[in-house]
Structure 1
């Protein structure tokens, strides 16, 4: 699955045989002849019908009244998480941008990468905590803290890239919004759905991507790769095309399918009547995927502009 935080029974498909007898289910359509009514019974039934009509006329119960997960409530939780991310992203941006210096002799750029590093490490640790503890208890405070650290990371890396390639952040942001919007529209229309076969392919591709990324980082840290290759093996070319560009296009499709799985699992949580608090896990899963998508698009555009 796209996010191990969804590895919870609340987000898994249930056995239809176990759900066949819920109130209002298929068994409710079976016909049963009404009992003979007396005048007293008729009066009681009329009062009951009037009460039911009043209940149907009243506004439908929402997530707060039912304490159950809904799509609307999950959307608001997701929006609040991204609001926190944007606030701390501004902090990371200002912090990094204010420390940028350029050596006039060599033209080399230096900056304080503390927000970038602290945000990445803090976000990774909190993500692991959220993923491995959400099965027992959902802690919204940890999810908000994750969003805050991710904001520092996104703001720091965005400011650094913007200094080198002006306008790149707007390009990456628009591309990210476009991918998310198209994916959501296709999912909402029913034209795209997660499948067992595609999920297996996705998992194989994800493992390969993680191995490549880890090897790339190790080679860069150990100075095995030439110093001018800012992105390590991603800067190498095949038939004149940067590996990072080829990989970036693949990852964009992977992230889009990851979003489809996130949407599907949120929908499944709503169908299962999961507790309202699991909406935070839904928002967390979407944030993980969107940040991954944004960073990959940012890096892909940087490789293209660097070659130009």
Structure 2
């Protein structure tokens, strides 16, 4: 069964109360009474809490004009993302801090794009919610299955997108050359569409990873880590939808 390629839930490590899923028929030691196993309610409650912090942070950033905090928030969010990827841990404080930082970034970005095209932020939120609901329904009904082959293709796609964006950054800053990824042309729209498709697929991978946590007997504290991975993917999905909608105003 494939694990998530999102570094937030990439491995089910035997760390701090979490255990890797046992093979069928394998015995597992019962968790201590004081450290009960994770449940679906734990995951839902923690994910809603993290999303709530992100939304409040984004709203306050836009409402109070705190866009000047976006750059430090980018640094904090990136740092926390890398740290939690390298050293997985079920930390409520770090997860909520990550959500706060990402909320500031998304709030500032939404305010910027909304000034160019009023209502684009609302449409991006609706689009993200619809895709999330659709992918969850697809996962629950097994209409789309998470396979190792499809996941490898998705990971390869993401790696290609990262290389493309880095090349655009180097070409723009180093040589003053525009590769056409940020001006709303056909290439920019195609790249955003591919990124949205990849992010949507990774939602399936995150659902699968969350399900493996449920089956593994991991500590309930790891619900914060599952929430972190889900929110990380949702932030990526929202950002790509926002960019795509901003491009479409030129058409």
State whether TM-score is above 0.5.
yes
Quote how far apart the aligned CAs of 1:150 are.
Answer: 0.5
SS at match of 2:203: helix
Distance 1:192 1:95, change over 3 A: same
Tell me, yes or no, if the aligned pair for 2:22 and 2:28 is still in contact at 8 Å: no
User: What is aligned with 2:74?
Assistant: 120
Query: Which residue in 2 is equivalent to 1:279?
Result: 223
Q: In structure 1, what is the Cα distance between the partners aligned to 2:91 and 2:35?
A: 20
Q: Displaced runs of 4+ in structure 1, greater than 4 A? A: 10-13
Closer, same or farther in 2 for the Cα pair 1:89/1:22, shift >3 Å?
closer
Query: Is 1:3 aligned to residue 11 of structure 2?
Result: no
Post-superposition offset of 1:166: 0.6
SS at structure 2 position matched to 1:221: helix
Q: Decide whether aligned partners of structure 1 residues 168 and 279 sit closer, same or farther in structure 2, where only a CA change above 3 A counts.
A: same
Q: In terms of mean alpha carbon deviation, does 115-124 or 202-211 score higher?
A: 115-124
- Aligned equivalents of 1:165 and 1:294: distance in 2? 16
Q: 1:14 & 1:205 partners in 2: Cα distance?
A: 31
Contact 1:12 1:265 (C-alpha < 8 Å) held by counterparts: no
Matched, 1:252 2:182: no
Deviation digits for residues 227-265 of structure 1 (CA, Å, limit 9, x no counterpart): xx9xx534374xxxx111111111111111100000001
Q: 1:11 to 1:221 in 2, by over 3 A?
A: farther
Aligned to 2:214: 270
Residue of structure 2 aligned with 1:131, choices 60, 85, 108: 85
SS in structure 2 at match of 1:235: coil
How well do the aligned residues superpose, as a CA RMSD in angstroms?
Answer: 2.2
Per-residue CA deviation, residues 258-291 of structure 1 (Å, 9 max, x unaligned), is 0000000100110011111111111000100001
Which residue does 2:181 correspond to in 1? 233
Question: What is the total number of aligned residue pairs between the two structures?
Answer: 240
The structural deviation recorded for 1:125 is: 0.6
Q: Is the 8 A contact 2:19 2:217 kept in 1?
A: no
**1:78 aligned to which of 38, 47, 51:** 47
Q: Equivalent residue of 2:143, what SS?
A: coil
Question: CA offsets per residue over residues 134-161 of structure 1, 9 Å max, x none?
Answer: 2xx4221111100000010010000011
Deviations 1:101-129 (A, max 9, x none): xxxxxxxxxxx852322222211111112
Q: Unpaired segments of 5 or more residues in structure 1?
A: 24-63, 97-111
Give 1:150's match in structure 2, choosing from 102, 118, 130. Answer: 102
Looking at both structures, which has the greater relative contact order when contacts are Cα pairs under 8 Å and sequence separation is at least 6?
2
1:220 matches 2:172? yes
Cα shift at 1:298: 0.5
- Residue 111 of structure 2 aligns with which residue? 159
Q: Cα gap change, 1:252/1:219 in structure 2, threshold over 3 Å: closer, same or farther? A: same
Provide the residue aligned with 1:52 in structure 2: none
CA drift of 1:5 comes to: 2.3
How far apart in 1 are the matches of 2:122 and 2:225? 28
CA distance in 1 between counterparts of 2:20 and 2:182 reads 37
Q: TM-score, normalised by structure 1?
A: 0.72
SS at the partner of 1:85? helix
Q: Does 1:69 align with 2:38?
A: yes
